[in-house]
Structure 1
Amino acid sequence: MSTATTLTTTAPSSILDYKIMGLPLGLFTILTVVVMSATYLGALPGGMVGAFPIMMILGAILNEIGDNTPIIKDYLGGGPILIIFGSAALVGYGILPEKTAAIITSFMKKESFLSFYIAALICGSILGMDRKLLIKAAVRYLPVILGGVITALLLCGVAGMLMGFGFEEAVLYIALPIMGGGMGAGAVPLSQIFGSTLNMDVGTMLSKMVPALALGNAIAIVCAGLLHRLGAVIPGISGHGKLLKKQEAESEDSAEGVDAIDYKAMGIGLLLATTFFVWGKLLGKYIPIHSYALMILSVGLVKTLGILPRKFEVCAFQWFRFVMVSLTPALLLGIGVAYTNIQQVIDALTIQYVILVAMTVIGSIIGSGFIGMLLGFYPVEAAITGGLCMANMGGTGDVAVLSASKRMQLMPFAQISSRIGGAFMLILATALLKMFM
């Protein structure tokens, strides 16, 4: 299954042949002028009808720059990293109008575009997988997460002790928040656990954790790009998107019909993805597990048991591939605008703090990559999903990390890390507080 998000596959012979988003440069320029004029003249409408064009155009421009800037494209993940931090800088330094930033933020959060995107990826990528592969990989995946967590906590703690920061402080205030599953499912409940246990203000605790999350997320994205580069240089350590070393080529049945675009099928895929998402929310009212985790388990169970006819699995996969190819740059721009505070990242850039955060992220890579290798996974893919997708900021970080590493098809395992792994971190935090305090 092809999961590439780059639309321009050949170098243009002249400026007239240059294309962005598959559009001739001249036509793309006209669309850009219209949308940017509305943006800066205060005429951009609210809701998705205004959010989509500005996010798609800015995302495409930043993606094009990132994918063609030497150091960024070769070592830092290319377009995805520039889209996120470039758009965050546009907001942080007031270049993007506040009204526009508010429209994008509302679309991402209140109108749940992020959830819409992730629902498509989870449903389509799981249902599009080979059933045998899903069963074989899932059984061995949780030890990969555990290996990354343990190594990250130990490496950060030892570094903190050697630098005079303190072993316990480094583990509790830096490593745990970074590995905790993001903001909403990680830092917020962690701050409440810390606050009630230590009799401290929750807001104070959260302010200590947010810089670690922001910087850890940034380093995780950069490391994802570097791991992609490393996998290209040393082919034996990377499956180039395949998780298992003995993963066989996809069967004809697995790939049947995925390239024959059917508009009605894509509509069915949209319905399946959003209904599975709603099902996860419904279960979440009665089961104390994150709704994303419940959705993953539900889709995985349906796939494992073969409940859904293959033709409808193909519908879900076609919808997933459309969303991924067409909307990923727009989504990454939304992540930069709505979820990334450039000032928090800059403020956290003290040498000691950066080293401790880096040790946490590196520890997650080493631990998950090593355990993954022992269990028959490719080290690069194990490190990305079991390590970096624990060290980033949850769902937003998963998208950014997988985009930077060019491995968006691994979203189901990334979500297992962020959701199930994040829930495990809350339990671990409670135990560590009792041990240390």
Structure 2
Amino acid sequence: MKDYKIMGINLPVYLGLLAVLIVAIVMDVLPAGMIGAFAFMMIIGALLDVIGNNTPIIKTYFGGGPIVVIFGSAALVYFNVLPESVVKNVNTFMKGGGFLDFYIAALITGSILGMNKKLLIKASLRYFPTIIGGVTVALIFVALGGLLFGQSMSESIAYVGIPIMGGGMGAGAVPISKVFASGLGIAAEDVLSKLVPAVALGNAMAIVAGGLLDKLGKARPELTGNGKLMEVGDEDLHEKIDPNEKLDISDYGIGIAIACTFFAFGVVFGTVFNNITGVDIHSYAWMIISVAVAKAINLLPRKFEQACASWYNFVAKNWTAALLMGIGIAYTDLGQVIQALTPLYILLCFLVVLGAIVGTMVVGKLMGFYPIEAALTAGLCMANMGGTGDVAVLTAAHRMELMPFAQISSRLGGAFIILLATFLVPIFF
């Protein structure tokens, strides 16, 4: 066992780190800020990840580590196992400290700049019809399911279908609740209380579905590109790196600086756009567009693109379990998920997720995409909880290289759902 490794650390050394951490937690003296948060999220997150990846049934059918990390950490909060100071510090680090944004910025910038430019443009033109196909089938499925069990089609679409497909909480359920409140003349808080359980439950189902689709891809290899979105022979979305163009440790700093600056640009442009038009589109969407444009016009030297791609690989390899730990604690309310577990509600949420998968697999195939990759990105990454859900779904499916398309679904696709809700409310309510 001494040769067994967790986080790349030999087991005796890892257990020593874990022991120090547990003592600090029990004594309630774990340092505040990023030191305590990183230590807790990385060490405990890695342990839960190992448990999930080695637990029968869970590792085979439910995505393994990511499921256990997210819901295991959420359970630690729900059952009051963790001191309040630890929970508060992780919440602050994830939200106020911006660790989630920092992680997503690295993934968006590095993954897009590391793509094959021609294939990126080609895939994007076919991607939005795939999203629309998934949304359409998902809303049809939930409407018919509600009608079959005595619930109105409009109510099923409004309180289950739209929030699940809406791109998460901050960029989805919250603005959708305001759209509904304005159209129906009721308090946004009352609407939001009905939307949140659907978002949480749909997110959980999407994560599980990500693991199941990965399993399906192994059983039916003709349905998957194993991380490639388009059926383009031996080519893939990643640029071929010249072995003579070696990177050194300072290039990680270049990657950090560029990723953070693109994120800042997204915030600046989004603020200006909102002030001029009154339309609030999430900063991630503008960041995606700006990075894609920079890639399309060769704005950055190739070495800088590779530096961003290398930084993205570092972040994905070392901090994914820690991020999932933070998602479980700061963004996953296990109580809301449990309260929503009525048979009809579960069925309707399942129908939305199933419709998203079926619609995107069919339309995606017509658009020249691999069905499983289309379902993961244009389908499940519409049905999950925004950026946090994207990480969880793609990790469960072992296809993190699809993050740029996942983010298009969560951000631009989520904005499409808000616009759709704006038009549907006066027509059907």
Under a length normalisation based on structure 2, what TM-score does the superposition of the two structures give? 0.97
Aligned to 1:418: 410
Cα distance per residue 1:101-128 (max 9 Å; x no partner):
1100100000010000000000000000
Q: Of residues 49, 52, 55 in structure 2, which corresponds to 1:66?
A: 52
Aligned to 1:305: 297
Is 1:387 the counterpart of 2:379 in the alignment?
Answer: yes
Cα distance per residue 1:315-355 (max 9 Å; x no partner):
00000000000000000000000000111111111110000
Report the Cα distance in structure 1 between the residues aligned to 2:137 and 2:228, rounded to whole angstroms.
24
Report the Cα distance in structure 2 between the residues aligned to 1:372 and 1:352, rounded to whole angstroms.
29
Using the TM superposition, give the Cα deviation of residue 257 of structure 1 relative to its aligned residue in structure 2, in angstroms: 4.8
Using the TM superposition, give the Cα deviation of residue 250 of structure 1 relative to its aligned residue in structure 2, in angstroms: 5.2
Aligned to 1:332: 324
Structure 1 residues 26 and 204: alpha-carbon distance in aligned structure 2, compared to 1, 3 A threshold: same
Q: Of residues 167, 171, 174 in structure 1, which corresponds to 2:160?
A: 174
Contact 2:90-2:330 within 8 A present in 1 as well:
yes
Q: Of residues 190, 197, 203 in structure 1, which corresponds to 2:189?
A: 203
Cα distance per residue 1:384-417 (max 9 Å; x no partner):
0000000001111111111111111111000000
Report the Cα distance in structure 2 between the residues aligned to 1:259 and 1:32, rounded to whole angstroms.
39
Could you tell me which runs of 5 or more consecutive residues in structure 2 were left unpaired when the two chains were aligned: 275-280
Q: Which amino acid aligns with 2:16?
A: I
Report the Cα distance in structure 1 between the residues aligned to 2:12 and 2:354, rounded to whole angstroms.
44
Report the Cα distance in structure 2 between the residues aligned to 1:248 and 1:309, rounded to whole angstroms.
26
Contact 2:324-2:392 within 8 A present in 1 as well:
yes
Report the Cα distance in structure 1 between the residues aligned to 2:244 and 2:297, rounded to whole angstroms.
21
Is 1:226 the counterpart of 2:212 in the alignment?
Answer: yes
Is 1:191 the counterpart of 2:183 in the alignment?
Answer: no
Contact 2:114-2:239 within 8 A present in 1 as well:
no
Using the TM superposition, give the Cα deviation of residue 254 of structure 1 relative to its aligned residue in structure 2, in angstroms: 2.5
Cα distance per residue 1:67-120 (max 9 Å; x no partner):
000111111001011100000000000111111011001000000100000000
Q: Which amino acid aligns with 1:428?
A: L
Aligned to 1:145: 131
Structure 1 residues 78 and 270: alpha-carbon distance in aligned structure 2, compared to 1, 3 A threshold: same
Once the two structures are superposed, the pairs formed by residues 34-433 of structure 1 within 5 Å of their partners are 34-246=20-232, 248-249=234-235, 254-257=240-243, 260=246, 262-288=248-274, 289-433=281-425
Report the Cα distance in structure 2 between the residues aligned to 1:150 and 1:252, rounded to whole angstroms.
31
Cα distance per residue 1:195-223 (max 9 Å; x no partner):
11111111111000000000000000000
Could you tell me which runs of 5 or more consecutive residues in structure 1 were left unpaired when the two chains were aligned: 1-14
Cα distance per residue 1:125-163 (max 9 Å; x no partner):
000011111011111000010000000001000000001
Q: Which amino acid aligns with 1:89?
A: A
Contact 1:258-1:317 within 8 A present in 2 as well:
no
The ranges of structure 1 where at least 4 consecutive aligned residues each deviate by more than 6 angstroms after the TM superposition are none
Aligned to 2:277: none
Q: Which amino acid aligns with 1:318?
A: S
Aligned to 1:12: none
Q: How many residues align?
A: 423
Report the Cα distance in structure 2 between the residues aligned to 1:277 and 1:257, rounded to whole angstroms.
29
Cα distance per residue 1:19-68 (max 9 Å; x no partner):
10110100000001111211121111111011000000110000000000
Using the TM superposition, give the Cα deviation of residue 382 of structure 1 relative to its aligned residue in structure 2, in angstroms: 0.2
Report the Cα distance in structure 2 between the residues aligned to 1:418 and 1:255, rounded to whole angstroms.
29
Q: Which amino acid aligns with 1:63?
A: D
Structure 1 residues 261 and 34: alpha-carbon distance in aligned structure 2, compared to 1, 3 A threshold: farther
Cα RMSD for the two superposed structures: 1.3
